Amino acid sequence: MLSAEPCSPTTTSTASDILRSGSPTAPATPFAANRQDTYLRALATIPHLAIHFGRFQRSIARMPLAQPAPGGPKIVEMIKTEEKRTDVNIATHLLCDAFDRDCEAAVMISNDSDLAAPIHLLRKRFGMRIGIINPYKKAPCSRDLTSARPMFIKHIRARVLRDSQFPDKLEDRQGVITRPAAW
């Protein structure tokens, strides 16, 4: 899903104005891997788009149970999956864009509070206009992101999401890309 909404009433934007996208690299299931590979191929058809990857890390963690059964274990081992480096990569590239004067405005699709400090810095030091689109329908925007005072905070609207979808079929150098039933 890519959307190119105007950042202000006097600024227009097109899909070709979107220059970078951040995305984790390793989905949790093989089915998700196929969909993600298809999506990344579709993204690669957009001119001037660079994709910067993070990764998922799996580890075994010992965690306390919230409500252990009487006489049962209080600590259990579980598989913990964490997204790593995506927020740092996004912040790093935004800072480089600001240093190089390569970007006037940015829109982040995130509710990750780890991005609050970079947003605040970019606004204060570089005067960069930054908007946040919260990808979670019912969750309020992170308090930390709100306190960074972005230019706007919005949710993804159903109509914009629908209108921003890739067509059912695209072509790249490898051949035809067929849109899956669900991304």
**What angle in degrees, to the nearest 10, is found between the helix axes of 86-99 and 116-126?**
0
| Alpha helices, H only, the chain | 30-43, 86-99, 116-126, 143-147, 158-163
Contacts of 40 (CB under 8 A, 6+ apart): 23, 51
Would you kindly state where each structural domain of the chain is located, as residue ranges? 16-53+85-178, 56-84
3-state secondary structure of 137: coil
pTM (2 d.p.): 0.70
| The pLDDT of residue 25 | 56
| The pLDDT of residue 16 | 44
**Splitting the chain (183 residues) into consecutive groups of 10 residues, what average pLDDT does each group show?**
32 47 57 81 87 83 95 94 84 90 88 93 94 89 93 90 90 93 74
For 92, phi then psi, to 5°, come to -60, -45
Task: Please name the CATH architecture into which domain 16-53+85-178 falls.
Answer: 3-Layer(aba) Sandwich (3.40)
Angle value at C-alpha 98, between 85 and 40, nearest 5 degrees: 45
| The pLDDT of residue 77 | 96
Distance, in Å, from the CA atom of 183 to the CA atom of 168, rounded to the nearest integer, reads 12
3-state secondary structure of 152: strand
